Structure 1
């Protein structure tokens, strides 16, 4: 399985915008189109298409919220490509890329606490739940990196 993260650009943005989650997942994930627009008008937003071979199959967006903290705001795998291990491989690639940022000590992610697989999935990467977010809607989980 050849998984890669690639920048969103003129050649692939439409294909990424066409990716969709299942109807049951729609309440948990913002549209890729909205996320791409958001990234173009805000500083420190990074977007990546998740590719399997030469086909876009998912999307990431993360935001450097402080000099020491990056938050993963968007992460989705297209409904036609779920349950194949792509998300696990893609998140590993994203975390490796994020960890290359100088001075990053915290990586955070939020998810709906009603999502039946999120806690186990994210904790398997080292994310630890620290409580509900400021809006009291999503669970906040973090990875605290060792400082060198």
Structure 2
């Protein structure tokens, strides 16, 4: 396994747009085209989409953006998906850990915030397993989790 990130380009966006989650996960994850559109819509919040690869095989997408409140800067994991045929192999966990290390090295954020939709036990368990905790905040039907970045601003 060699998980790494790339960028979405005019040459690869269609390939990533074709990646799909399992049918029963579609209610929990935005379509890849929506992820790309959200990144554009949130460009003033320093949004960025990472193309996730295992070796040279496209396997998923991750979108991040920034959010500032009370003079604190947060990194928001806005969207995260691993394609159906690449799930249950440890790629999602590896991609999340790699991304979190990149965020930590930037030394800009107080914490990482994410939401998952109630009922998405797979996402909930992944996030708990890598160190996120519930904040007791709920945004509509989305449950908010946080990962505090030690020694950051």
State the TM-score, normalized to the length of structure 1: 0.92
1:92 corresponds to 2:92: no
Structure 1 residues without counterparts, runs of 5 or longer: none
**Residues 110-119 or 77-86, more deviating:** 110-119
**Superposition pairs for residues 45-64 of structure 1, below 5 Å?**
45-64=47-66
User: TM-score when scaled to structure 2?
Assistant: 0.89
- The residue that corresponds to 2:120 in the other structure is 115
Please, which of 131, 139, 150 is the counterpart of residue 146 of structure 1?
150
Measured in 1, the distance between the counterparts of 2:37 and 2:147 equals: 28
Q: Deviations over 1:100-147 (max 9, x none)?
A: 334211101101231223332211211010124332x11111011123
Q: Is 2:86 aligned against 1:81?
A: yes
- The two structures, once aligned, show a CA RMSD in angstroms of 1.5
2:111 & 2:87 partners in 1: Cα distance? 28
Unaligned runs of 5+ in 2: none
Q: How far, CA to CA, are the matches of 2:135 and 2:55 in structure 1? A: 36
Superposition misfits of 4+ residues, deviation over 6 angstroms: none
| Deviations, residues 66-115 of structure 1 (Å, cap 9, x unaligned) | 26201101100101111111101111111111223342111011012312
